[in-house]
Each structure stands twice: as structure tokens, then as C-alpha cells.
Structure 1
């Protein structure tokens, strides 16, 4: 039987240990763990895994950006995101970026391995809550879809910064890339969040992708 290489990206040590042990308990899995995006990129470049299991809120960026990057550069890698319950927007943002499904952080050990195998079999494991959320977002007659992109009032600069957020860039990297002051970036981001009616990077990326404001 072929051994399935899995790369786990989780910055919380207890959660990382628990998920690693749950995955490693399957004799068919070969598991490596890192705690940030930079180390994940290095590990993927050195020896691409079959499955990437990544948290979303990471110390050096967002798992949504890592997901989009992996899907663009390594289409053979399946991506699962690690989520907490009631985090539909962030999970859907990751799915929009290319993730195949998600693992709940407090899932039972046997369920974690089963979820990985479901993805490898071509399935997309989603909770009922997330499935309902996706359906609501796709309804053509919802007011938020009807309002259209033009009515959001995002400026060209805000779109550029939104793209930087989606790519997981730091404030300094966004500022340097656009030739603006680093101190102004948080103000732009606050304006973006207000116009998109969101409260986090993941939510902003999801809204931007579903409204075709940016492409990753």
C-alpha cells in the first residue's frame, strides 16, 4: 500500500500535537508538522505531500492564501483546512481558494483520518452548516448579490490592498509593493472591511472572490 504523505500546518502546539498524533496513528500516513506558512512552503518545495492540512489563522499569513498558492503551483496536492465550529465564512473563503474540505479542530481522532481519506477518494467533506452557508451565498435573488460590485464603493487602491490581503502579504509588504506608507495600510483595511461588511481577512477574501473583485 502506498504511504500517503501529509503536511500539517498548525501554530497552536497542543492542537498540532493532537492532530499529528491522530493522523500518525494511521499506518498508511506519513505525517510532518510545521507551525507557519514559510516552513510549509519550504517543506512543500523539498518534498510535496499528497495532502496539506492547514489552519487558517497563522502567524505569518492566512491559510486561504497558502491554499490558493498550493492549488496554483501544486494542483496534485489536496488541501484540507482546519476550522472551529461557526467559522463558515473563513472556511468557505478557503474552499473558494481551492480547499477540498475541512477538519473541525475538536474532531475525534478516527474522524480526522477518515476525512483525509474521503478527500483522496474525490469527496469534499463539508458540514451541514457550511453547505447551507454556500447555498445562501449562491442564491441569485439575495440582496447582497443584487447590489453588485459597483455599489460597494471600493477604490482601485483598496482593490490592490485587498489582493495583497488575499495573498497573505504583511502590511509592510503591501505598503512597499504599492509605494505607500505602512501607517496608511490599516486605515485602508478598515475601510475595506466596512464596505464589504466583514470582520476578518478570511471573510474579506471570501467576499472578494465571490464578487469577482480579485482573482488569486
Structure 2
């Protein structure tokens, strides 16, 4: 079972996500709480995946994210966001969020996205991806995405493309006929060469560099 927790200030959102996810045989929503209860509840229950609202009135979602990332073991955290939260999405990206979902994501997709997160994959709602990619690298000073990705070997670029598709290490290994340990080594090297701290940041670089095609839309998971 994938132990999942929903953190949102709106009771309707918490109830809706809980109802959808609990219908899946392999997902157990262990708690659905407001932001102020998030860190304490994670410490008590130890969920595998946390869906965390980026903006809440009682506590800043980015502050909660930072506290959750310091826990050991730390849960996988995906941010729940809306169209008008670009600057918050970028900050969460830099703080190590593992994915971004719009609150109006297709309910049928939610269980698949939770499974992808639990397996170490990245989850990028296509609408969020387009908006964040347009601004994330423009606000950085590291140069064009194509030049950055050019630092990678052909094998590393192949791994990066699969990271950007949301595949977990075990699935990348199956696709490229490598052991999971070898994939982990490649991932670490890729993050270092790209000067990023998370798979999501690497995936956005791949998007911007055109590795997935100029017009490809996706919901990774």
C-alpha cells in the first residue's frame, strides 16, 4: 500500500482527493489535514507520499515543504497548485518538490500519478510544465538549456529523457538494460553536471532543451 497524505486548507479539496485515492486498491490515504497540522502528522504517521498545497492561509506551503524535506526519512512531496502560482511553483522546484499537480487534474489520472511518485518518478502536469519551463530557466543565469544538456554523454542524455518522462530508476534500467544501481549513478552524475538538485529540475531542463520534442504535451507518471 502507498501511504498517502493530503495537505490543503480547503476541506472540499481534502475530501475530494481522499475519496478518489481511497478508491484505488493500492493507495491508503492515512490523513487529510490543513497546513498547520502537516509536519506533526507526517512525523506521527510517516506517509510515503504527501500532496501539499503551495498556498495556504494558516501556513506557507513552501515552509512546510522545507520542514518535510528535513525529516528522515522524508516523504515524497508533490505540490498542489493553481494557474496563478508560477512564482511559488518555481520556489518549490528549487526546494526539492518531486512533482506539481493542478487541483483540477483528471481524477482518473491521480492514482497513476501517486504510483509514479512512490516509485521515484517525477510528476509534472502538462499545464504546469509549460508555464514553469517558460520562466524557470529565464530567471536563472546558467545559460541556454541546450548548452547545459550538451555537457552530458549520449548515455546520460538517454537517461535524462526517461527521467523527463517520469520513469523511476527501475523502469529506466529496464528500458536501457542497466541495473538500478547503474541508473542511480547516472542520475547523480546528471544532476551534478546540470547543476540542479532534483529530478524535476532535470526534467524541466530536458523539456526546455527540446529533448522531448518541440510540441510534446505530457502528464508524466
Shorter-chain TM range is 0.5 to 0.7
Q: Which stretches in structure 1 are left out of the alignment for 5+ residues?
A: 143-216
Whole-Å Cα distance in 2 between the matches of residues 86 and 38 of structure 1? 23
Equivalent residue, structure 2, for 1:131? 133
Q: TM (normalized to structure 1)?
A: 0.59
Structure-2 separation of matches of 1:131 and 1:122 = 21
Partner in structure 2 of residue 109 of structure 1: 107
CA distance in 2, matches of 1:85, 1:15: 16
1:136, 1:43 → 2: CA distance? 37
Tell me what 1:13 maps to: 11
Unaligned runs of 5+ in 2: 145-221
1:124 Cα deviation from its structure 2 partner: 2.0
Which residue, 75, 81, 85 being the options, matches 1:83?
Answer: 81
Query: 1:12·1:35 contact (CA, 8 Å) conserved in 2?
Result: no
Structure 2 residue matching 1:98: 3-state secondary structure: coil
> Which has more radius of gyration?
1
- Give the Å deviation of 1:9: 0.5
Q: TM-score, normalised by structure 2?
A: 0.58
Count of residue correspondences: 140
Over aligned residue pairs, what C-alpha RMSD do you find? 2.0
CA distance in 1: counterparts of 2:15 and 2:31, whole angstroms:
9
